[in-house]
Amino acid sequence: MQYLVGLDVGTTSTRTLIIDSNGKLISSCIKEYPMHTPKPGWAEQDPDDWWEAAVYTIKGAISSGDIKPQDIAAIGLTGQMHGSVFIDRKGSIIRPALLWCDQRTAPQCEKIYDIFGYEGFIKLSHNKALAGFTAPKILWLAENEPQNYKKIYKLLLPKDYIRYKLSGEFFTEVTDASGTILMDIEKRDWSEEILKGLDIDRAILPDMFESIELSSFVSEEAAKLTGLIKGTPIAGGGGDQPAGAVGSGIVKEGIVSDSLGTSGVVFTTTDDPVYDEQGRLHSFCHSVPGKWNLMGVTLSASGSFKWYADKFGPSREIKEKNPQIPDYALLDKQAEIVKEGSEGLIFLPYLTGERTPYADPNARGVFFGISYVHTQDHFVRSILEGVAFSQLDCLNLIRGLDVKPDRVIFFGGGAKSRLWSQMMSDVFELEISTLKIEEGPAYGAALIAAVGAKLYSSIEEVCEKTIEQKEVFKPDPEKSRIYRKYYEIYKDLYKDLKKDFKRLEEV
């Protein structure tokens, strides 16, 4: 039996899993690490924390699965997108990596528009210049830490730093490179026009492959550290969202995925490089060669739920009634007590600014409509509903580009909640399916590696033969009617508060 490794460099942890050639999960291992916020709106990590976690989890997955390393056919890498790892000529890290949720680069985004024009840049890159993306991070470093900027030999994305540590090679692939906004999306290569306009040296960027291509091989040094065999091939892989889409079968037009992790992402495949002329959706290359994708992002999706769980937790009453149930399940029980619409309590999930449809780093979370009737139970349910509304914002933008999905695949931490799954179906007014194997981006990365290793002829084939649906949720017409009314109010709240968000930031 041959095996495939999928490794996901997440925001809070790295996870490595191993599957067999039929897609069956054999083993997995996870290791957490911290995120640092030296100033409000800043988000950084030490890339060596990722590498330490990668070594630990690779060894752990091999050991717990009782896998012979020589039977591993290939490795697929995935991870958080847009992060910037600055490397010097000695291969050392110059400074902590700036992450996807870092909001410090708003002035640099404005500079990009000054150079190319607002509409001009969207037409050129198929995307807005957003604070979380990679290109403005490079400009920020040049303007604020010029001594570090001069040291740059290579710029790497998070998963590609792990590739470098595994192989000694500097490479990336088309999906993660798309999120730098330094690409010509249609040509699936770096954009000479954007690089010239921003005065960024092409030499600092890694060479680019398609996701399924075998880009590098495990070095002798990395083999000793991880337990892998020297020469084990490493596929290009993909950013966490395209890889997660592969892992859930979103590889053809007509199907949408909704991934609720720390962020929430509505994702669909397109046969052509379609883009929103206002740049409200991300238009990137897909892990499927010759395919593209559209996605909208809520920055604080399950992250909003986790914030509440960490800061407040379940109510004392629900704990006393259900002492044996874990906290997150208890919060679900609290939300179940409340009717649709949370009796007029509406939540805006903008805890770290927002991306879609409002690219606004100043946006903040809001509970609107609080009255004496509201309890802790209402606040919990309103968070779930507010995130669902924010994901509907994304879906409606996709629909506006004449992409007409007929069903949604739901995965990520949020999909573990049957309440949230049904709620998403009611809000979307679409059938929603969960998956039998719901292992997220790491699983998709392993499937990509299986194609790279020639165990399957294409990503479409490997998905067809390995991915199965688990449960189907159908919308309740009456609940959908109620949610439509609250959604109309939800949509107006950001517009009403936009100026106040900016005023708050300036205090």
| Residues catalogued as catalytic | 240
Q: Which two tokens stand for residue 27?
A: 């083993």
d(CA 299, CA 50): 21
Q: Which two tokens stand for residue 293?
A: 């994708």
One-letter-per-residue 3-state SS of 149-163: HCCCCEEECHHHHHH
**Bridge-partner residues for 29, per DSSP?**
16
CB 76 within 8 A of CB 237: yes
Decide the pairing of beta strands 255-260 and 407-411: parallel
Which of 309, 296, 414 is closest to 355 using CA atoms? 296
Q: Which two tokens stand for residue 490?
A: 């939800």
CB 177 within 8 A of CB 135: no
Decide the pairing of beta strands 233-235 and 214-217: antiparallel
**Bridge-partner residues for 17, per DSSP?**
6, 28
d(CA 234, CA 249): 22
Q: Which two tokens stand for residue 343?
A: 């009796």
> From the CA atom positions of the chain, what is the Rg in Å?
22
Assign 449 to helix, strand or coil: helix
CB 212 within 8 A of CB 52: no
